[in-house]
Structures are given as structure tokens and as C-alpha cells.
Chain A
Amino acid sequence: MTKSANKLVIFSDIDVEKALKNAVKKPRPDIISELRESALKGRGGAGFPTSVKWNLAASAQGERKFVICNADEGEPGTFKDRVLLTDYAEQLIAGMILSGYVVGAKEGIIYLRAEYTYLKHDLEATIEKMRGKKLLGKNAAGKEGFEFDVHIHMGSGAYICGEETALIESLEGHRGEPRNRPPFPVTVGYLGCPTSVNNVETFITALHVVEKGAKWFKTFGTEKSTGTKLFSVSGDCEKPGVYELPMGITIQKLLETVDGTGAKAVQVGGASGICVPAKDFEKALAFEGVATGGSIIVFGQHRDMLEVAINFMEFFCEESCGQCTPCRLGTETLLEGLDLLSEGKCSLKYLRELTSLGETMQVSSKCGLGQSAPNAFLSIIENFKSEIFDTRCSCR
């Protein structure tokens, strides 16, 4: 297995067993308060406050509750979860145990994407090891009366299953089509039970926050975007890989760290994120700036941005579940428009119509996939329109 090139300093600095046992000694409300105080937000990309999610799941009524780890990392340009699942599996499972304790769940499920099947064996070994240490099972983590266990459920190849309600549908044996929300999974989730779905990184970060305190966590990042965050950096830079950096770092600073300066643009947040041109590199990577689940793709000066837009739109056409009209047909229509642009056959009038359609998709699609599918299209058209027209438009 590929080990990550950059050791994650903060994440490495913990005695997992001790941290977990300390945590479950605390009353549940104290843990939620600590998380609230830390202002930790979900690390998967949507940025929902973790304390709120756990609190809702904890206060929801239900005989049976679930904690689900969303390890369906499929966002183009994102691979930090792969690194965490490889090198920090024990911390992940400890984070799930902690969540199970807070929420009142007995069952944890890791939804692991099919593409990561090669990680399953080692993950299972880690789970087994933790059962051996009595961190899982009855009286988990030494907490009298607390029972928790984890199993792995394999995905079958569908990006949309990273959307939490699609993930739950898939777990229940259905097509991975997102549900209507509300109700949210924290009240009506897997098998109709309250379910807390979190990203791999969120579980681990939560464990660190509870062990080291909100105050420590807030020494990193900005006021609104606290802590550090993992960034998956790829594309035209010298040192691609996973980086742990404080939230709020500017794109320029990040590019300097990875030897990617002089880039023409950076795609922040993967295919569903936005394309930031060089003139905006001083923007901060934070919830109040350019929000991201951590995917950073660097485009050098020689890259054709229209090709980039086409690649992303093809991705969405492939991965749209096809359930709702704006996503099923909007992605296809935008892709056809990009092909027209590529052939130099798109009128500006039609391009404006497509831009307007993109806005409709953003507001009227059923789930986050459809809502974010036009992002790359819109930001690339906005920032690189003249480049696209200068090189392609045969009608000028």
C-alpha cells in the first residue's frame, strides 16, 4: 500500500486508546459542548456543524440508532480519506466509537467505496484488533453498559452514494437515489432509525478535539473556520499529496507549499467545486471564503480550461442518479453546450441560456450533486470565456 508522503503531524500526535477511554468517561453533553465550542464543521465538504448533527441524533427518539462513516470518497481530486483509512484507521474507528457513545448508537457502519476494496482487508484487521482490545463490543472502551461494534459495507461504484441519503438508500439495498429532505437522517435514517453520517476526517478530528480540547483546536484556522483541514493536492504542482493545513490558508500560500506557483487556475472542491483563476489566489480556503472538502487541483498555464470543463461535465453525466429533471437532463444539456463551444458553434445567446440553466440546476435539483454539477461549468465560463472564444469560435 501507498503510504502518504506527508506525515500528518497533528493527527499522529495521539494515544488512541487512552484518548477514547478518557472521552467516554465524560458525560455526553460535555462532549457535545466541547464540539460546539470547537465549532468543528463536517470535513466532507458540506460543512454542517458536527456538534449539531450529533446532538440531533442523540436527542432523536429511536430504539435503534446508527453511526455511519462515509468512506465513499469519490470527489475528483480527493484522496485524503484513502490516506486516513490506510494510516489512521484506528483513529477513525475510535472516532466512530466516540460518536456512537454520544449519539446512543450500538451499530457503526463504514460505507467503503468499491474502488477502495484493497483497503478492506487491513481495515477489518484493525476492527478485529480493536475488538481484541475491548474497545469494541460490550462495555466498549471500558465504559460500563456501552455497547458498540463496527462493520464494513462495500459500495458498488456510484459517486452519488457519497450523498448521505443516497448512501442510506444504497445500504438498504436500493438504487443510490437521494431522498427528499427533510426528514434528515438524524431523525429518519438507515432503516428509519436516527442515523449520524460523518466523513472519515470528521470522526478523527472530533476525537482529537475531545481529547485535546476546543481551545487547542481553535488555535488553528480562522474564527469561522476552526482547526486544521486535510487538503488533497494534485495536478500541475511539484509535490502533490495530502497536506494538513490550517483553515483559512490562501490559495497562493497553499500553492507555495506544494510548489505549484504560477498556476493558471485552481479547482477547489473537485468537480462539484469551483474554478478559481490566478487573480483570486489570495482568497482563503475556508467556509467563509472558498469552501472545500479538501480537493485542490492545480492547472498550469498550458491547460485548456474548456477541456477541463468538459471532463467535469462528463463526470456528472456519468454519475448523476438520473432521478430529478434538472440534474438528469441539465448535465447532459450543459455537456452538449460545451461540445458546441469546443466546435466553435455556440452562440453567445445560447451560452447565456446555458448559464441560466446552470443557475436553475443549482437551485432546483433534488440533492447536492445536481445543485453543484454546474459549478465548474459556471466558474470556468465566467473566468475563461475569452480564452474559450478566442481559441474556438469559428464564427467570429
Chain B
Amino acid sequence: MPNKENNTKLGSDRAPASSVASSVEVAKNEKDLGAMVAITIDGKDIKIPFGTTILDAAKKLNIKIPTLCHHEDLKVAGVCRVCVVEVEGQRTLQAACAYPITGPMNIKTYSPKVRKARRHNLDLMLKHHVGECYSCFRNNNCELQTLSKEYGVDFYRFGHDSEPHHDVDKSSYSVVRDMNKCIQCRRCVRTCIDLQEVGALEAINRGPDLDIDTFNSLPLGEVVCINCGQCINRCPTGALRANDPSDEIWAAIEDPKKHVVIQTAPSPRAAIGECFGLPAGTSVTRELNTAMRRCGFDKVFDTNFTADLTIMEEATELLVRLKKALVDKVDVAFPQFTSCSPGWVKFLEHFYPEYTDCLSSCKSPQQMFGAVLKTWYAEKAGIDPKDIVTVALMPCSAKKFECNRPEMNDSGYKDVDYGLTSRELAQMIQETGLDLPNLPPSDFDDPIGEATGAGLIFGATGGVMEAALRSAVEIVTGIKTEDVFANLDIIPVRGFEGVKYMEIVVPAAGPVPEILSKALGGLKDFGFLKGATLKVAVAHGTANAKKVMEDIKAGGKFSQCHFIEFMACPGGCLGGGGQPIPTSPEIRAARTKAIYAEEKTLYSRKSHENPTVNLIYKEFLKDGPCGHKSHKLLHTHYIKRGNKIV
């Protein structure tokens, strides 16, 4: 029986100073908990549960209180003082985001005193916010800009720096830090330390000298950073951005000698519409294909093809590990960890380097695609691979680092030339004036545009696991997966719980399909797995990954797992650091819904049924999954980085 594990609560002892006090723990006296409190906000009465923040209470009344340091995904800080409100009988204003209501009160959210304070605090923030809006990638999508407009900022009351006071840190392949635009709301700090448990950024110094900085003030590219870009998604200004390659891509497109190919991951298509005014959760897959062609990309392919290929390779790798352990009785590393999330891979390399053997040796779908494009596709299309420029449209900033890993050149060239985020492609499309939502739809290009629903759901947390199980169950048992899981939906691995866990008893043993026979050393059937309990788990967000890893280190239940999916970003790739800003639990839920809805429309939902996957094994990777050639092109190795910088 599948069983679920709810394990999302973050430990509070690791919180940075500013966020220890949350709205949760206002009292320990039981009589108060669960009680209802009657309050009045702007003359409207409401009853709310004891401990509700003023901000949440106001939301219930549809009263908008401006915020800046507040973010739904993060612990409360209460530091920007933009959300201050007046509470009758109190001398000072209170931060609505941080004030838990514990008794009846009368609140005013826009009194003259409140508006004056908000305006002053904005004026102060603008003092050192260097950079003009029109040269900023957050222009028209900047919380500071919006607030300045809403509060009628028409001059710099307390002055405005004209000269930058920090060098822009471009040392990282993924994240660019322009601290001249930082307003020290610490959303990035809370993201990096609490949400992701990475610890690249923290508040350094105090008072007016305070800076958000890295350890020892080193360039970001030199410290422990997993490139997940979650800080970018939560920065209210343009202080953090991804390393944008679009100028180089435009140049390649304009170069007649270059054949520019773009592969598109499953998550951008479910989110990029947000950059064009569409509500979150609007899929624009086929309109996007047209847009990319009109931008000038020579071919538009679907990364989901290599997601299917990844499933074949990774599931085979798992079966090989199981066979080695159970049949050959040799030592193999378990659990097997997924390796498609480059943020997660780097997290493990830094914090758990002793577990690199557990990481699947499979490259991510992006890197597999690059290697296939510059070999198989080049051969089929008759193009010299040196003239092929491969671009990967990704929801991810870490993909930029991944494609620049020096070992990622197994095609003989740099497998993937550029990682491009959803935001950056949206910018490119806007530059062409194309109206994405209203473009005529078109399909992916052949021959490798074909993909299954299994590849598509890679975009959501639990998707890789679900895709792998759909194939593995069918291959191992010989029973149709839909006969084991109704409608092919493997619900226990879906959803936003931080850590999910599931057990499956293998009910039957099927014959080893020919395609796997070489990898499995000529084994005839899967008898060695019959009756075994396969244990799998899913974690998303590296804070949750850390919990699982610590449990494994301590020999806990996750150490007994066979296969674990890890995604660096909360929600999986659809919540990636390259996705449209803003992000929130609701936005990520809407994108997830879009992905699962689109999946149902596809011709197949099992990776091993992808005809192009079968074709590539027939034509090109002739010795099958995990065979010699696929090992050369589709697999990689990892670096035990550790977390020592000095």
C-alpha cells in the first residue's frame, strides 16, 4: 500500500535572526489556541482565529496592505516597514505581516500617519537604490517600482545615489548580483538559508553599513551556491537576475553559417504565458513553438524526448543496481538518486559528496539532448556539429551552470551552448513584437519532437518518479501499469508535501525485454524482484532534500529506499529559478495543474512507448540503455566538491 509522508515543516533553530518570530507561536496556553477574535479593519468587522496576522486578516476582507519584505514562501521578517498599520491605542505603528492578533483591536490601514510612514520608508529605500528603471530587467515587474507609483513618489525626498557603490558580481554562470539595487529586505537571505538550506547569502555588518553578501565577500561563483535561482524569483527588485545569454543567441541566429536549435523543457510552456498577461497555469506549448520559429530558431525540439530517454536510462540503471545487489550479490550504492536537477546535483556535491555514487550517472534531459543533437541529429540532418548551436529553454538558472560544466562535451563539442530561461525567452519574443498568446499553434520539429506525457510531467515534483514507475512497473511485472495504478496516475508521489514516500510490492515478474537484455547480463526474467517491496521517495526544495539526506546518514527509513527523486526547487522545475516572477504556492499549483492536464492529451504517457526513443536505440545507441555508447554520450560523473571554500 502506498503511504505518504508529510514532512514540510522547517526547523526553526536554523532561522536567521530576523525570522525567528513567526505568526505561529504566539502563545503556549492552550485556552488561547483555536479561539476566535473579533476585530475591525477600516471600519469593517471580522472574526478571525487567534494568532492570525493583521495582513492575513485584511486579505480576508479584501483590504490590500502593501508589502515588500513579506513573501508567502518565507518566514516573517517584518523589516521593510512598508506594511505598517495603525492599531488603535498603540503609540507605534505595527507591521501587518508580523503582528499576530491576540485580542480585539481596531486597525486602520491607510490613515495619514500610516501613509506618511510608508512613503518615508519608500523614500529611504530609494536613496541608495542605484539604477534607472528603463535599463532594468524588472522594469514593469518590480515591487519597489510599483509601490513608488502607488505612493506617489515624484522626487527623491532624501536624495538618490547616482553612482553605483558596488561592482556587479557576474562571476556565477547562473546568478548575477547587482547590489546597487538591493533594498535589504532579506528575501534572498531567507530563501537561501531557510527555504533552500544552502547558505550562500547572509546579512553582513550592521546599521547603514549592512550588506547582503557572501561568505568572506567572495564572488558568488566561488562560494557554495547551487545556482537554483530561487533568490532571483523572490527578489522584489532587479538586484538579482540570471546570467542572460540572449545577445549571443541573437548573434547566432543572425549568423547564416549557424544552425540554431532550441530544445524546450516542459515547465516553461506552462508558465511563460504569465509574462504575456495570461493567468498562471495557461499552457502555450504550440503557440510557443511558432514564436520560437519566428524568432529565427532553425529547429524547435521537445526536451521531453530526452526526458523519456532519461527514464529508459535511469530505470535501466536502477534495475542493473538491483540485479547486482540481489542476483550478483555485489556491493552497489543505494538508494539511487535522480540527477536531472542540476541544483540538486550541486547541492549533493557540496554537502553530501560521500553520496555521489548514489547519484544516477544519467545526464539530465537537457544535456542528453545536447549530446544527441550534436551527434545523431547532426548525422541525420547532414550538418557539421561545429555549426550547430544548441539552446535549451529551461525554467532553471542552474541549467546555465550545468551546460558549462567542463565535462559536458561528450559529443566532441560543448553539448549545450546556452541555457535560456523562460523569462529571457519571453524577453526575446517581446523584442520581436510577437503576441505569443495569439500566435497560430504549431508542432515540434521531427525527428525528435516526439515525447510522451511521462516526459512532460518531469516539470512537477514527483514527475520523474511517476514517469520512471510507469515504465519500470510495466517492464518488471509484465502487467500494464494502468492495471496497477488507475488511469496511470500515481497519486502518492504527486503534490506539494515536502517529502513523499511510497512502497510498492512487486506483484509479478515479467520477461526481460530484449532492449534491456544486454544491460542485465542476459537475465531472462525479473523473478529476482517478485514479491520485493520497492521503496521510493520524492523531495523538492533542498531544505527537504537535506532532511532526507540526514535521515539516510542516520540510517533512517529513507536509507532503505531504492530510488529517490530530488528536485532543488520548491514544486519541482515549474517553480524553477528561471521562471516568470513572481512565484507563490498558488502560482506553482496552477502551473502543476496545467502540466497534468496537458499530459492527458498526449498519445502515450509511458516513456518506453515513445517511438523515437525506440528508434534511437535501434539506429544509434545500438547496445541499448546503459550500453557502451549511451554511457559515453548520455552518462556523466560527479565531483566531490565539499563545502570548504578556504
- Residue picked from A60, A158, A187, A356, most chain B C-beta under 10 Å: A187
- Cβ of B26 and Cβ of A174 under 8 Å apart? no
Tell yes or no: B113 within 8 A of A by CB: yes
- Cβ of A363 and Cβ of B25 under 8 Å apart? no
Residue of B nearest to A176 (CB): B17
- Cβ of A180 and Cβ of B21 under 8 Å apart? yes
Pick the residue among B17, B84, B93 that contacts A175 (CB under 8 A): B17
Pick the residue among A174, A321, A371 that contacts B16 (CB under 8 A): A174
Chain A residues with CB below 8 A from B207, complex form:
317-322, 328, 331-332
Tell yes or no: A143 within 8 A of B by CB: no
Q: State which residues 164-219 of A face B: CB under 8 Å.
A: 165, 169, 172, 174-177, 179-183, 187-188, 192, 194
Pick the residue among A59, A175, A326, A371 that contacts B120 (CB under 8 A): A326
Tell yes or no: B381 within 8 A of A by CB: no
CA distance A359 to B30 in the complex (A): 39
- Residue picked from B12, B20, B157, most chain A C-beta under 10 Å: B20
Known: A174-B16, A320-B206, A320-B208. A329 touches B26 (CB 8 A): no
Tell yes or no: A139 within 8 A of B by CB: no
B interface, by DSSP: helix, strand, loop or mixed? loop
Tell yes or no: B91 within 8 A of A by CB: yes
Tell yes or no: B231 within 8 A of A by CB: no
| Chain A min CB distance to B188 (Å) | 15
Chain B residues with CB below 8 A from A59, complex form:
29
Pick the residue among A158, A179, A363 that contacts B117 (CB under 8 A): A363
Tell yes or no: B297 within 8 A of A by CB: no
Tell yes or no: B414 within 8 A of A by CB: no
CA distance A179 to B203 in the complex (A): 15
Tell yes or no: B210 within 8 A of A by CB: yes
Known: A322-B206, A329-B208. A177 touches B99 (CB 8 A): no
Tell yes or no: B184 within 8 A of A by CB: yes
- Cβ of B205 and Cβ of A188 under 8 Å apart? no
Pick the residue among B20, B78, B208 that contacts A328 (CB under 8 A): B208
Chain A residues with CB below 8 A from B358, complex form:
none
Pick the residue among B20, B27, B102 that contacts A169 (CB under 8 A): B20
Known: A180-B21, A180-B95. A324 touches B80 (CB 8 A): yes
- Cβ of A366 and Cβ of B17 under 8 Å apart? no
Pick the residue among B12, B27, B98, B124 that contacts A333 (CB under 8 A): B124
Chain A residues with CB below 8 A from B208, complex form:
317, 320, 322, 328-329, 331-332
| Chain A min CB distance to B15 (Å) | 9
Residue of B nearest to A337 (CB): B158
Tell yes or no: B560 within 8 A of A by CB: no
Chain A residues with CB below 8 A from B359, complex form:
none
- Cβ of A371 and Cβ of B28 under 8 Å apart? no
- Cβ of B28 and Cβ of A62 under 8 Å apart? yes
Q: State which residues 301-333 of A face B: CB under 8 Å.
A: 317-326, 328-333
Residue of A nearest to B12 (CB): A192
Scan B76-90; emit 1 where CB is below 8 A from any A CB, else 0. 101111101000000
| Chain B min CB distance to A242 (Å) | 30
- Cβ of A322 and Cβ of B210 under 8 Å apart? yes
Pick the residue among B78, B80, B128, B184 that contacts A180 (CB under 8 A): B78
- Cβ of B81 and Cβ of A188 under 8 Å apart? no
Known: A322-B206, A331-B207. A183 touches B21 (CB 8 A): yes
| Chain A min CB distance to B94 (Å) | 9
- Cβ of B117 and Cβ of A360 under 8 Å apart? yes
Q: State which residues 354-408 of B face A: CB under 8 Å.
A: none
| Chain B min CB distance to A283 (Å) | 20
| Chain A min CB distance to B165 (Å) | 13
Tell yes or no: A357 within 8 A of B by CB: yes
- Residue picked from B98, B128, B183, most chain A C-beta under 10 Å: B98
- Residue picked from A60, A169, A324, A364, most chain B C-beta under 10 Å: A364
Chain A residues with CB below 8 A from B184, complex form:
322, 325, 328
Residue of A nearest to B68 (CB): A325
Chain A residues with CB below 8 A from B30, complex form:
61
- Cβ of B124 and Cβ of A366 under 8 Å apart? no
Tell yes or no: A51 within 8 A of B by CB: no
CA distance A188 to B240 in the complex (A): 35
Chain A residues with CB below 8 A from B203, complex form:
175, 322-323
Tell yes or no: B162 within 8 A of A by CB: no
Chain B residues with CB below 8 A from A182, complex form:
26, 99-100, 102
Chain B residues with CB below 8 A from A322, complex form:
184, 203, 205-210
| Chain A min CB distance to B434 (Å) | 40
Chain A residues with CB below 8 A from B102, complex form:
182
Scan A355-393; emit 1 where CB is below 8 A from any B CB, else 0. 011011011111000010000000000000000000000
Chain A residues with CB below 8 A from B183, complex form:
325
CA distance A332 to B208 in the complex (A): 7
CA distance A353 to B117 in the complex (A): 12
Tell yes or no: B432 within 8 A of A by CB: no
CA distance A174 to B202 in the complex (A): 12
Q: State which residues 91-110 of B face A: CB under 8 Å.
A: 91-93, 95, 98-100, 102
Chain A residues with CB below 8 A from B12, complex form:
192
Tell yes or no: B64 within 8 A of A by CB: no
CA distance A177 to B78 in the complex (A): 12
- Cβ of B21 and Cβ of A326 under 8 Å apart? no
11 sampled A-B residue pairs with Cβ under 8 A: A62-B28, A169-B20, A194-B28, A317-B207, A322-B184, A331-B207, A332-B207, A333-B124, A356-B116, A360-B121, A364-B93
Residues of B bordering A, CB below 8 Å: 12, 16-18, 20-21, 25-30, 76, 78-82, 84, 91-93, 95, 98-100, 102, 113, 116-117, 120-121, 124-125, 127-128, 157-159, 183-184, 203, 205-210
| New A-B pairs, 13, CB < 8 Å, besides A160-B206, A326-B81, A362-B92 | A61-B28, A61-B29, A182-B26, A183-B27, A187-B26, A323-B17, A329-B124, A329-B125, A353-B157, A364-B84, A364-B93, A366-B78, A366-B79
